[in-house]
Amino acid sequence: MGKKILKNMDWGILVCIVILVMIGLVALFSATQEAENDEFKKQIMWLVISIPVMIILIFVDYNTISKISPILYVAIIIALIAVLFTESINGATSWFNIGPVSIQPAEFAKIIVIIVLALYISKIQEKGKDQISRPTRLFLALCIVGVPVLLIVKQPDYGTAITFVVATILMIFTAGIKKRYIIIGILLIAILLPTLYFFVLPEHAKTRIEVFLNPNLDPRGAGYNVIQSKLAIGAGEFLGMGILKGNQTQLGFLYPKSTDFIFAVIGEEMGFIIAATVIITYVVLITKAIFIAKTAKDNLGSYIAMGIVGVLLFHMTENIGMTMGLLPITGVPLPFVSYGGSSLLTNLMMIGLLLNISGRRQKAIFVD
């Protein structure tokens, strides 16, 4: 069975991951010089931990993993509740600190929720393809996602919460939800967005949106980071200023340069060519993931793959978009590139699941 998986597996995905991880490590090495490369060393450590976990997930049948996912779902909900009582870091209670290591349960929740939701949709569709369009079934599906999303919003971590929403939309759309629900959803979003803005969002979130619309509104405060990011990317021009030679990066104007604005470091020091390579690599990766979803051997594999597509697509679009001033700043990391142990581990776990599904694929099962 192992040889068959290796034969069918989409090796192009691994090539994409290697490219992104290598570029990320070079950028992180340059961005952390003044901190004696502590984050760079930790990222190497997490990479060493993550690779064996990814390999295990390639060979353990995803159907077997799905059977224990409800237990994992309960565990992650407990973790998301417990983390709310931890000490606030940068205004958010999102991490468990265990010695020098920080664990972010919201990252692991992405994988678990995707698998549980995929399992639920595939089970109810065994009774008929239109089951997901029944109001009670759809409501239960949204509750599976809604509980962790509300807990993550409470931290608060709006960027991660939106990730769940994007993944859910793609999964339900793949499952063949009726068009009337899509129209209703669009109308609800159009109605709720202004309400959320005026009555729900805290002041710092509103400020981020206002600064996105006009960065010069507060150039030394809320608009500072995005202005410095755009200056860094522009300064890199075609070939970049060189590793360890970026002005905004090395002189401390760019912050946080190892996480949220790592793409700006790449743009400044490595130039347009490498920055464009990063974007193209993501497009290839996401395209391959969609193809895996289309050719999965069963509905469960297809829905898991599309959930992963949603996570990668949102993180890539939002992170790169916010560094260029094209989208509001939400603090989501750039997958495989930004510093972050929990992020790197969960992203490589998702790649393991994708390769797992691709190694067992047989035929396209997309719902018409």
Report DSSP letters for 236-270, one per residue.
HTTT-S-TT--HHHHTT-STTTTTTTHHHHHHHHH
Split at pLDDT 50, 70, 90, the class of 147 is: very high
- Answer yes or no: is pLDDT of 269 > 50: yes
Distance CA 310, CA 164 (A): 8
367 inside domain: no
Q: At what angle do helices 262-295 and 341-359 cross, to 10 degrees?
A: 20
As a dihedral over the C-alpha atoms of residue 142, residue 147, residue 151, residue 154, rounded to 10 degrees, the angle is 60
pLDDT for residue 199: 67
183 inside domain: yes
190 inside domain: yes
Three-state SS at 328: coil
pLDDT for residue 91: 75
- For the chain, the average pLDDT equals 88
Please compute the mean of the pLDDT values over residues 256-270 and round it to a whole number. 93
Please compute the mean of the pLDDT values over residues 23-51 and round it to a whole number. 89
Question: pLDDT above 90 covers what percent of the chain?
Answer: 57
Select, from the ranges 156-165, 203-212, 216-225, the one with the highest average predicted confidence (pLDDT).
156-165
Select, from the ranges 70-79, 178-187, 202-211, the one with the highest average predicted confidence (pLDDT).
70-79
368 inside domain: no
Please compute the mean of the pLDDT values over residues 40-50 and round it to a whole number. 93
Split at pLDDT 50, 70, 90, the class of 133 is: confident
Phi, psi (rounded to 5 degrees) for 101? -105, 135
366 inside domain: no
> Cis ω on the peptide bond leading into residue 100 (within 30° of 0)?
no
In 273-367, the DSSP E strands lie at: none
Q: What's the domain count of the chain?
A: 1
pLDDT for residue 343: 93
- Residue indicated by tokens 């962790």: 148
Split at pLDDT 50, 70, 90, the class of 51 is: very high
31 inside domain: yes
13-17, 172-176, 206-210, 276-280: least confidently modelled range: 206-210
pLDDT for residue 313: 96
**Structural domain boundaries enclosing 245:** 2-359
Among candidate residues 5, 63, 57, 40, the one with its CA nearest the CA of residue 262 = 40
211 inside domain: yes
Greater pLDDT, 102 or 196: 102
Please compute the mean of the pLDDT values over residues 340-363 and round it to a whole number. 90
pLDDT for residue 182: 75
β-bridge mates for residue 103, sequence order = 96
pLDDT for residue 364: 44
Split at pLDDT 50, 70, 90, the class of 365 is: very low
Q: Name residue 158's amino acid.
A: Y
5-9, 31-35, 192-196: least confidently modelled range: 192-196
Greater pLDDT, 182 or 270: 270
Q: Name residue 129's amino acid.
A: K
365 inside domain: no
The model carries a pTM of 0.91
In the chain, the DSSP E strands lie at: 96-98, 101-103
- Answer yes or no: is pLDDT of 104 > 70: yes
Please compute the mean of the pLDDT values over residues 254-282 and round it to a whole number. 94
pLDDT for residue 168: 93
Distance CA 64, CA 67 (A): 5
Distance CA 29, CA 32 (A): 6
Please compute the mean of the pLDDT values over residues 122-126 and round it to a whole number. 88
Distance CA 32, CA 246 (A): 12
Split at pLDDT 50, 70, 90, the class of 83 is: very high
- Answer yes or no: is pLDDT of 363 > 70: no
